[in-house]
């Protein structure tokens, strides 16, 4: 499938989503979808597995929430603050983490995630601690679920368009060069660490924005938002959708929310299902849902030809 | 004040030794198989819960201490044999993600079997009291833990330096290719290492249980700490992991005296500092 067809399918899905399900759930999916696509810029395009993206998802929620609760900041400023703040935070954390590659990088992002979790947990006067940061009200013109969904959908499209431009640009080509052969990228005169940091900062910024939007969905930033298990969920969404495709993680985010919303209704221990699906995907279906779809499409094409 | 500092210092060493045991297990698996074992924390938790089950079923503290870690070693061996083994040809990201998935499954299994609410376990009555250390009275069981962990570390050191299998494991950490070239069955070495690393996590979980109590999330809580141990020590450094474990145990318990809120954060600051000043870790060479 070409980019254009995929993009048209995405628009159709965006229009249908609030009709088929509750607009708030659709908005929640889109917030996670931005996060997963940003994570895929790291994983799929730059070859960096981060196990700490919840740091930015959570901090984004806290920054926007605190700006709105304490300073009465307008929505746009809170969202910009979350994105900008998380990009800065990603620059600081990334500067330490990109010093090391491979396993080290994964473990460092993971450990820093836990550090920020503990900061959020202990600093309860600011963040609400274990109870989460509650009381984040949407402005009056956004109280209506559908209107809020439309705003999230617009920001989602803008974010995806921006990230698509980045991965198609010369930066994106360099990211892939770093992924495929870091030594060669370095040998041709490119600063591999700086490119990785760049990718990490961009992903952190968009993840912060997504976290801020997520906080607005139910008016609360739960402490789970910043727990490292959330980072695992983000990796799950990215892989289950398909990290080889730009739009794959969007499908992954939708699948994740659908799974959690349906299974959690009748079984408290639903993360076990998550684990089983995850294990099966890693063992047998590394291309994710996108791989199933392309296989089916190939099958249909062959049948049509015969 | 001196008394408080002294007893916190001993507390730090005790917790640190436990961190060290879990960290050494992780280091072994990381060094030989080249995977950060995301299921390592859950194996620690299984050590505690198997210990609970064994002491309830057979009533013996020492019998439980032998059976529970052995059960965890079997569990770890099964994870390697049935799952991780299929992924050696894949990118190491997939091995790690598989282990994360296993961690989720095992975590939920704990809740299914033992329930979501935590529980406690008492050390045997002859180990329950306190001892007079001169400056302060100190719980006997914690001293026993210190002795046990020291004995295990010494035994591990003997295993790694005085036996054939230990030499092979150390060779595997240095150069996996070289071990293969020598005609040693690497698959068996992987299985043994994974089981040994799991056993260490299990034994730490078992002896920690009477101190920390048992909660289903205990595995997920200790996993990041274990990673900090390995990063501070340097990848693949076994004795370094023991030093780093004790170091962060002490750092944590001393911080508790002055800034209790920061006790959980301080170890990550130490980790960040280590990476910036000495990226290969305190004891690492690579």
- Chain B residue with the nearest C-alpha to that of A111: B224
Q: Which among B108, B230, B276 is the nearest to A272, CB-wise?
A: B108
Whether residues B173 and B267 share a domain: the answer is no
Burial class (CB in 10 A: 0-12, 13-18, 19+), A249: buried
Whether residues B145 and B285 share a domain: the answer is no
Q: Residue A149 belongs to what domain range?
A: 3-228
Which domain-ending residue is among B193, B214, B235? B214
What values do phi and psi take at B130, rounded to 5?
-120, 165
Q: How far is CA B161 from CA A83, B164, B196, B247, B279, in A?
A: 52, 8, 15, 24, 27
- Chain B residue with the nearest C-alpha to that of A103: B36
The one-character DSSP state at A165 is H
Which domain-ending residue is among B214, B239, B271? B214
CA-CA distance, A11 to A15, in Å (whole number)? 6
Whether residues B139 and B208 share a domain: the answer is yes
Whether residues B204 and B248 share a domain: the answer is no
Q: Residue B120 belongs to what domain range?
A: 35-214
List chain A residues with CB under 8 Å of B109: 272
With respect to residue A300, please indicate whether it lies within any of the assigned structural domains. no
- Chain B residue with the nearest C-alpha to that of A117: B265
Q: What is the pLDDT of residue B182?
A: 82
With respect to residue B22, please indicate whether it lies within any of the assigned structural domains. no
Q: Which positions 101-160 of B are in contact with A (Cβ < 8 Å)? A: 101-105, 107-109, 111-112
Question: Residues 6 or more apart from A187 whose CB is under 8 A from it?
Answer: none
Of A73-82, A227-236, B141-150, B182-191, the least confident: B182-191
Q: What is the pLDDT of residue A195?
A: 92
Q: Is residue B92 less than 8 Å (CB to CB) from chain A?
A: yes
Which domain-ending residue is among B189, B214, B239? B214
Are A114 and B268 in contact (CB < 8 Å)?
Answer: yes
Region A254-264 average pLDDT: 87
Taking 80 as the threshold, does the pLDDT of residue A306 lie above it?
Answer: no
Are A107 and B220 in contact (CB < 8 Å)?
Answer: no
CA-CA distance, B98 to B89, in Å (whole number)? 13
Whether residues B110 and B227 share a domain: the answer is no
Are B264 and A228 in contact (CB < 8 Å)?
Answer: no
Domain count, chain B: 2
Whether residues B99 and B221 share a domain: the answer is no
Whether residues B240 and B208 share a domain: the answer is no
What's the mean per-residue pLDDT of chain A? 89
**What is the full per-residue pLDDT of chain B (286 aa) written as tens digits?**
888 888 888 889 999 999 999 999 999 998 888 888 999 999 999 999 999 999 988 878 899 999 999 999 999 999 999 988 888 877 778 888 899 999 999 999 999 999 999 999 988 888 888 888 777 788 889 999 999 999 999 999 999 889 888 888 888 887 777 788 888 888 888 899 999 999 999 999 999 999 999 999 999 999 999 999 998 998 778 889 999 999 999 999 999 888 888 888 898 889 888 888 887 888 876 5
Domain count, chain A: 1
Taking 60 as the threshold, does the pLDDT of residue A1 lie above it?
Answer: no
Among B38, B85, B226, B227, the residue to mutate for chain A (most A Cβ within 10 A):
B227
With respect to residue A255, please indicate whether it lies within any of the assigned structural domains. no
Token representation of residue A205: 């910024």
With respect to residue B27, please indicate whether it lies within any of the assigned structural domains. no
Instruction: Compute the half-sphere exposure of residue B78: CA atoms within 13 Å on the CB side of its CA.
Output: 9
Whether residues B144 and B234 share a domain: the answer is no
With respect to residue B151, please indicate whether it lies within any of the assigned structural domains. yes
Dihedral angle computed from the Cα positions of residues A100, A104, A108 and A111, in that order, rounded to the nearest 10 degrees: -170
With respect to residue B86, please indicate whether it lies within any of the assigned structural domains. yes
Region A64-68 average pLDDT: 93
List chain B residues with CB under 8 Å of A112: 268, 272
**pTM higher than 0.80:** yes
- Chain B residue with the nearest C-alpha to that of A238: B97
Q: Which among B92, B108, B279 is the nearest to A275, CB-wise?
A: B108
- Closest by CA to A38, choosing from A235, A240, A274, is A235
Assembly ipTM: 0.85
Q: Which among B83, B105, B262 is the nearest to A272, CB-wise?
A: B105
Are B224 and A269 in contact (CB < 8 Å)?
Answer: no
The one-character DSSP state at A141 is G
């Amino acid at each position: 499938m070409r980019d254009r067809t995929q993009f048209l399918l995405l628009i159709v899905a965006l229009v249908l989503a609030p009709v088929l399900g509750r607009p708030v759930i659709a908005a929640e999916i889109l917030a996670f979808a931005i996060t997963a696509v940003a994570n895929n810029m790291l994983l799929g395009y730059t070859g960096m597995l981060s196990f700490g993206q919840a740091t930015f998802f959570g901090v984004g929620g806290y920054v926007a929430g605190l700006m709105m609760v304490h300073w009465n900041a307008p929505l746009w400023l809170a969202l910009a603050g979350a994105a900008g703040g998380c990009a800065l935070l990603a620059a600081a954390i990334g500067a330490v983490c990109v010093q090391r590659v491979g396993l080290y990088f994964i473990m460092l992002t993971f450990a820093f995630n836990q550090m920020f979790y503990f900061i959020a947990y202990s600093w309860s006067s600011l963040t609400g601690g274990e109870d989460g940061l509650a009381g984040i009200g949407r402005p009056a013109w956004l109280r209506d679920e559908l209107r809020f969904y439309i705003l999230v959908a617009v920001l989602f499209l803008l974010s995806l368009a921006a990230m698509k431009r980045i991965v198609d640009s010369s930066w994106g080509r360099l990211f892939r060069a770093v992924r495929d052969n870091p030594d060669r990228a370095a040998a041709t005169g490119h600063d591999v660490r700086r490119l990785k940091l760049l990718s990490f900062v961009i992903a952190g910024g968009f993840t912060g924005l997504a976290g801020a939007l997520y906080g607005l969905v139910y008016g609360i930033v739960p402490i789970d938002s910043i727990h490292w298990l959330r980072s695992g969920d983000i990796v799950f969404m990215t892989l289950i959708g398909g990290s080889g495709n730009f739009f794959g993680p969007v499908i992954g985010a939708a699948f994740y929310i659908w799974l959690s919303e349906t299974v959690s209704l009748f079984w408290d221990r639903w993360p076990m299902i998550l684990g089983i699906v995850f294990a099966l995907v890693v063992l047998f279906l590394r291309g994710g849902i996108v791989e199933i779809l392309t296989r089916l499409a190939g099958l249909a094409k062959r049948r049509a030809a015969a | 004040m001196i008394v408080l500092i002294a007893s916190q210092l001993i507390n730090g060493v005790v917790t640190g030794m436990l961190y060290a045991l879990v960290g050494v297990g992780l280091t072994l698996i990381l060094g030989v198989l080249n995977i950060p074992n995301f299921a390592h924390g859950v194996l620690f938790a299984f050590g505690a819960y198997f210990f609970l089950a064994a002491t309830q079923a057979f009533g013996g503290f020492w019998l439980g201490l032998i059976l529970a870690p052995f059960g965890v070693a079997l569990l770890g061996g099964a994870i390697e044999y049935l799952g991780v083994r299929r992924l050696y040809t894949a990118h190491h990201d997939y091995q790690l993600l598989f282990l994360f998935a296993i961690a989720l499954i095992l975590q939920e299994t704990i809740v299914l079997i033992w329930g979501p609410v935590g529980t406690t376990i008492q050390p045997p009555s002859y180990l329950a009291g306190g001892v007079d250390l001169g400056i302060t009275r100190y719980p006997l069981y914690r001293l026993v833990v210190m002795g046990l962990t020291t004995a295990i570390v010494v035994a591990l050191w003997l295993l790694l330096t005085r036996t054939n299998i230990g030499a092979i494991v150390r060779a595997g950490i240095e150069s996996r290719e070289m071990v293969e070239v020598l005609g040693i069955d690497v698959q068996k070495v992987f299985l043994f290492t994974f089981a040994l690393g799991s056993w260490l996590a299990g034994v730490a979980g078992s002896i920690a249980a009477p101190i920390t109590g048992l909660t289903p999330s205990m595995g997920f809580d200790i996993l990041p700490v274990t990673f900090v141990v390995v990063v501070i020590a340097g990848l693949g450094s076994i004795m370094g992991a023991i030093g780093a474990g004790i170091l962060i145990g002490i750092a944590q318990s001393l911080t508790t005296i002055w800034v209790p809120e920061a006790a959980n954060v301080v170890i990550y600051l130490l980790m960040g500092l280590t990476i910036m000043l000495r990226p290969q870790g305190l004891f690492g060479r690579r």
